[in-house]
Amino acid sequence: MSGQELVFRTDNLTKVYQTGEVKVFALAGVDLELFSGELAVLLGPSGSGKSTLLNILGGLDHATDGRVWFHDLELTDLGDRGLTRFRRDHVGFVFQFYNLVPSLTARENVQLVTDVARDPMTPEEALERVGLSHRLDHFPAQLSGGEQQRVAIARAVAKRPEVLLCDEPTGALDSKTGIQVLEVLKHLNEELGTSTVVITHAAEIRKMAHRVIWFQDGRIANTEINDERLEPAEIDW
């Protein structure tokens, strides 16, 4: 399924945290290519640098060294303004904690994005795609965790981003709800062709990916391509 066109490319990407005397290499030289339409799963022990990579790819954080390209756009050259623009136009994020605006309804949370995007779907369509047509006017506090995460996904994909970056999207959910969320992600990846990166610590989830990338100590330890993918419903974790 993975197309040939490159979406992200990194070259010797490095991130160093200096805490007092100690230097922590969160990323110690990562060379990675991600392709259009691909669904990649990032696996690895806690502290191995997965989130750091995702944040840099999404334009939330700056690398200490090395370079990142989004197509021909070099992210490592951009300032705050350019990165904001980049996030606004091209990236959708999903986090473990849903980060919905509590004072806005599901529909309005999605509208936050569709009001300013270039070619968005309607909020109703986005919420329909995650199976929440019946919850349009509910506030986050009136929704279950899984529902809130699905609103967050609807909000992330409503602008038809080229990439969707998910950092432990099922981390706060029980497995049944988690599967629903993964189904939504897979479905969107197939329907919209959105390149998707999913970080998880549940190794079983790797079975739904096109490609699996293993992290260890700030480096890519291994990558593997699934010839056969499982449906989320078939995954058991």
* Interface residue list for another protein (CB under 8 A): 51, 55, 58, 60-61, 80-81, 84-85, 87-89, 91, 93, 95, 97, 99-105, 108-109, 111-113, 115-116, 137, 139-141, 155
Judged by CB under 6 A, how many residues of this single chain contact ligand ADP?
12
Q: What is the spatial distance between Cα 125 and Cα 212, in angstroms, rounded to a whole number? A: 30
9 binds ligand ADP (CB under 6 A): no
CA distance 126 to 121: 6
Instruction: Tell me if residue 117 falls in helix, strand or coil.
Output: coil
**CB 44 within 8 Å of CB 200:** no
Q: Tell me which of Mg ion, another protein, ligand ADP, none is bound by residue 102, counting a contact when its beta carbon lies within the kind-specific cut-off of 5 to 8 angstroms.
A: another protein
Q: How far is the CB of 105 from ligand ADP (least distance, A)?
A: 32
Q: Is residue 58 within the footprint of ligand ADP (CB under 6 A)? A: no
Closest CA to 147 of 189, 105, 204, 190: 105
Cβ nearer to ligand ADP, comparing 3 with 47: 47
48 touches, from another protein, Mg ion, ligand ADP, none (C-beta below 5 to 8 Å by class): ligand ADP
Binder of residue 35, out of ligand ADP, Mg ion, another protein, none (CB less than 5 to 8 A by kind) = none
Q: 26 φ, ψ to 5°? A: -65, -40
Within 10 angstroms of residue 138's Cβ, the number of other Cβ atoms is: 16
If DSSP codes are grouped into helix, strand and coil, which group holds residue 166?
strand
CA distance 228 to 130: 25
Interaction of residue 46 with ligand ADP, rule CB under 6 A: yes
Position among 1, 24, 73, 101 found at the interface with ligand ADP (CB under 6 A): 24
